[in-house]
A = this chain, B = another copy of it.
């Protein structure tokens, strides 16, 4: 039987409030505002178990270590800002991409990542 701990709830809340997937470190910093003294191991452990339960999804798309987001969101993709090294969720998808699958391969999922600068890092202010 799973227990509902403050730490676990804090992690889920962080993911809820984020505009995009977060790294374990980002989660730690934010979750510590809610649960003082929380350890990084707890973050990793909870992310793993939440992933196993299907509540969270791991994304590894930037050369910066994995990010995590709630699962069950509507189909979407991501934008990685090279200025602030953050991910943002983006809507839309060019549906028809199965023509890219090589003969004999089976596609189960796809992921699209746009790289560039977010509006804040976009010239308005110095990076």
Which A residues are within 8 Å of any B CB, using their own CB? 58-64, 66, 77, 79, 81-82, 88, 90-94, 96-97, 99-119, 122
Contacts and interface: CB of A to CB of B under 8 A. Distances in A.
A114 B107 contact: yes
Contacts of A111: 61, 112-113, 115
Contacts of A96: 94
Nearest to A89: B102
A104 B99 CA distance: 31
A29 B111 CA distance: 29
Contacts of A122: 104-106
A58 B107 CA distance: 23
29 contacts: A59-B63, A60-B64, A61-B111, A77-B100, A79-B102, A79-B105, A81-B105, A82-B108, A88-B102, A88-B105, A90-B101, A92-B99, A94-B96, A97-B114, A100-B112, A100-B114, A101-B116, A102-B118, A104-B118, A104-B119, A104-B122, A105-B114, A105-B118, A105-B119, A106-B122, A107-B114, A107-B115, A110-B112, A112-B112
